[in-house]
Amino acid sequence: MDSNILKTCIGLIVVMAVLGLGTAAMLPPGAELPVHWAADGAPDRYMAKWSAIFVMPLVATGIVLVFCLLPYIEPRRDHLKRSRVAYNTICLSGVGLLAWIHCLILAEGLGHTVDVRRAIAAGIGVLLILIGNVMGKIRSMFFLGIRTPWTLSNERSWAKTHRLGGFAFVALGMGMVGLVLAGASASTVFGGFATGIFGIVAILFVYSFLVWRTDPTIHGNGAP
């Protein structure tokens, strides 16, 4: 991970912690913050404020640590280095989404009226758009990307599958943001997200095989 991206991620985590501490100080002793919302948008699960304010910063810290560790354990380290732009974007986008959710939790805890589920859905949509835009820049590796037996064993399958996956992720993300802006309910947006992800995974799995199966270099080597 580039040092500037690492510093930005750490900065976001520090801001999350500071905002959390500030919010906790404004709430009475024994107060709880919502951490889950029902289909109608009403909070249905709470956590003690001192626990709730650290959940997202700790998860974000875990993500950053994993992304710092992966270059040391990834067998295809050179490919990971060549995927630097995508690697940095995915890490920073993930931390950014957690920071967004953290702010929504704090706002709800302070009594502000927020449609949290729709706001989270929009955040996930933006995340998909950002990841989709860099997916084609990911080189074959074992810890990141669309990993099927055929993408991992064939560069052509990896490249074409990730290009298609990138378009699919961007389209799904734009669809989610569009539904939120159009006023669709959170249940509708998340239902579309679940359906879209399932469809994308199934299509890319089959597509990666078909690209591998029709690779002329494989046939030239005598593959059936």
| In the chain, where the domains are located | 1-114, 116-224
pLDDT of residue 40: 66
DSSP state of 182: T
Question: Which residues, listed in sequence order, are joined to residue 46 by a DSSP beta bridge?
Answer: 34
Task: Provide the percentage of residues in the chain whose pLDDT is more than 90.
Answer: 64
Q: What is the pLDDT of residue 177?
A: 95
Look at 215 and 167; give whichever has higher pLDDT: 167
**Statement: residue 24 has pLDDT above 80:** yes
Dihedral sign, Cα of residue 49, residue 55, residue 57, residue 58: positive
Closest to 79 measured CA to CA, from 162, 197, 169: 162
Beta bridge partners of 43: 37
The Cβ of residue 18 has, within 10 Å, a number of other Cβ atoms equal to 11
Structure tokens at 176: 């989610």
**Local confidence band at 36 (pLDDT 50, 70, 90 cut-offs):** confident
pLDDT exceeds 90 at position 43: no
Whole-model pTM above 0.85?
yes
Write the pLDDT tens digit of every residue in 83-94. Answer: 999 999 999 999
Closest to 150 measured CA to CA, from 86, 198, 214? 214
Torsion sign across C-alpha atoms 44, 17, 122, 62: negative
Residue 71 reports pLDDT greater than 70: yes
pLDDT digit string, tens, across residues 96-119: 999 999 999 898 888 887 888 899
